[in-house]
């Protein structure tokens, strides 16, 4: 693999005061060997290529900790609805008409959007994940993939569980370690306890984790209270679900005791502020989680409930939402950046991600700061959270391989993908309409 020397401004995300106005990063293959001021690379380091990006700030790639990639097919299809009618009347009927190739192309579209906006890793829960895995391998990014499973019908639930097991055997640690496979039971209100425990046994047997929606809405709380006389978090704890690596998406409604449960079991939280706002789900207690040392990452959710995959917009919303419901000093710019990088690395289980430091993987992005909305430059972290947008990303590298340069995708043909998804989405929409 190639050796690179990148010269630019550098925000390594190794501490709030760490910033190099004129810095450089030495990369050997898939690994960073040096980060520091210009001239700090080892004397014997001879790069195959030098990237001079004097107007850019280089930072770790962003980690999207909860999404449903192939739901790009549903972007704009079902807006402005509460969660349960949205799922039952719109989303699930549409998904029932999707085939494997639809999933593949929808995933490719999501990856185009993610790469172009600086996301290098995603935690994805959805159906047809073998197609998403193929798309990720083609795109060159990283992913934690989970087969989304509901258990309304036992036969279908068991089939989905077997698909998740097969997915693990086929793709876990694939792509030179760029792929992980978790198990994806959808939520407490769609999976009975016996099925959740069965899923947990399989995850433990294979030594992997679980990705699940938890405490997302008030209606979920009411459903679990009616069925089991308790809350989603306490019920899942009683089932033993938290005793391994868990990504708990949303986690909007947590009581003090439930924060203690998350802290005790080191549950990772995927915070999805824009989806939570659009679906009127509520505001998650993120500052309280962080104060307890709970690992929190940021997710976009799927594009049918957001409607984009821009993590820069998600960071801005995450900070503003907490300030609106609390005080202006809550969730500072650097804290949000840390959630989108280091926090994401912790809850997805990838080692060597989330910061730019020797021994870490060469997953990084550069943001073009030579634009009017980045002047004057009093604070780079502030600008990245409060001013930046995904289209400001110029360069993307994953595992030491350049995936986008000068805003040009190198591994995917965006135009072909967009046209194919348009055709497929309109076909499915027409089929669903004819059924209603």
Q: Report if residue 423 sits inside a domain.
A: no
Residues 6+ apart with CB under 8 A from 153: none
Q: Report if residue 40 sits inside a domain.
A: yes
Q: Please report, for the domain that includes residue 147, its CATH number.
A: 3.20.20.140
Instruction: Note whether 77 and 119 are same-domain residues.
Output: yes
Instruction: Note whether 292 and 168 are same-domain residues.
Output: yes
Decide if 97 contacts 431 (C-beta within 8 A).
Answer: yes
CB count in 10 Å sphere of residue 233: 26
Alpha-carbon dihedral sign for residues 67, 196, 156, 349: positive
Backbone angles phi, psi at 267, to 5 degrees: -70, 135
pLDDT at 86: 84
Q: Report if residue 431 sits inside a domain.
A: no
Instruction: Note whether 208 and 88 are same-domain residues.
Output: yes
Q: State how many domains the chain has.
A: 2
Q: Report if residue 433 sits inside a domain.
A: no
Backbone angles phi, psi at 241, to 5 degrees: -70, -25
Q: Report if residue 276 sits inside a domain.
A: yes
Instruction: Note whether 108 and 170 are same-domain residues.
Output: yes
Instruction: Note whether 19 and 109 are same-domain residues.
Output: no
Question: What tokens were used for 9?
Answer: 């401004």
Instruction: Note whether 70 and 217 are same-domain residues.
Output: yes
Which range of residues forms the domain containing residue 133?
62-348
Answer whether 0.85 is exceeded by the pTM.
yes
Backbone angles phi, psi at 284, to 5 degrees: -75, 150
CB count in 10 Å sphere of residue 45: 13
Burial class for 218, CB neighbours closer than 10 Å (0-12, 13-18, 19+)? middle
Q: Report if residue 25 sits inside a domain.
A: yes
Low-confidence ranges of the chain (pLDDT < 70): 435-436
Instruction: Note whether 27 and 92 are same-domain residues.
Output: no
């Amino acid at each position: 693999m190639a050796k690179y020397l990148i010269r630019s401004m550098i925000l390594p995300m190794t501490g709030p005061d760490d910033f190099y106005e004129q810095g450089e990063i030495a990369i050997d293959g898939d690994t960073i060997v040096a980060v520091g001021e210009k001239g700090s690379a080892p004397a014997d380091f001879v790069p195959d290529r030098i990237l001079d990006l004097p107007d850019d700030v280089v930072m770790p790639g962003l980690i999207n900790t909860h999404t449903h990639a192939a739901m790009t097919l549903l972007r704009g299809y079902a807006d402005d609805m509460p969660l349960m009618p949205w799922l039952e009347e719109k989303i699930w009927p549409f998904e029932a008409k999707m085939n494997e190739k639809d999933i593949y192309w929808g995933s490719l579209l999501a990856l185009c959007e993610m790469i172009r906006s600086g996301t290098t890793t995603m935690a994805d829960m959805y159906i047809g994940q073998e197609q998403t895995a193929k798309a990720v391998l083609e795109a060159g990014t990283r992913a934690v993939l989970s087969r989304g499973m509901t258990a309304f019908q036992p036969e279908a639930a068991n089939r989905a569980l077997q698909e998740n097991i097969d997915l693990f055997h086929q793709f876990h640690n694939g792509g030179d370690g760029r792929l992980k496979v978790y198990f994806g039971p959808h939520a407490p209100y769609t999976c009975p306890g016996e099925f959740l425990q069965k899923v947990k046994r399989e995850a433990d047997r294979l030594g992997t984790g679980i990705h699940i929606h938890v405490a997302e809405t008030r209606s979920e709380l009411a459903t679990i209270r009616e069925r089991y006389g308790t809350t989603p978090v306490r019920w899942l704890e009683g089932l033993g679900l938290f005793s391994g690596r868990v990504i708990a998406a949303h986690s909007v409604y947590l009581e003090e005791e439930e924060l203690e449960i998350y802290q005790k079991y080191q549950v990772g939280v995927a915070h999805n502020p824009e989806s939570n706002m659009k679906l009127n789900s509520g505001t998650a207690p993120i500052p309280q989680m962080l104060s307890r040392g709970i690992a929190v990452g940021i997710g976009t959710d799927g594009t049918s409930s957001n409607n984009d995959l821009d993590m820069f917009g998600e960071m801005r919303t995450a900070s503003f939402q907490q300030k609106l419901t609390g005080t202006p000093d809550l969730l500072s710019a650097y804290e949000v950046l840390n959630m989108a990088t280091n926090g994401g690395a912790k809850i997805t289980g990838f080692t060597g991600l989330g910061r730019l430091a020797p021994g870490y993987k060469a997953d990084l992005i550069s943001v073009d700061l030579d634009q009017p909305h980045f002047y004057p430059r009093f604070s780079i972290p502030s600008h990245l959270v409060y001013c930046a947008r995904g289209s400001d990303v110029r360069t993307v590298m994953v595992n030491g391989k350049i995936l986008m340069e000068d805003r040009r995708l190198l591994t995917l043909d965006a135009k072909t993908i967009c046209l194919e998804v348009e055709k497929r989405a309109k076909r499915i929409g027409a089929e669903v309409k004819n059924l209603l």
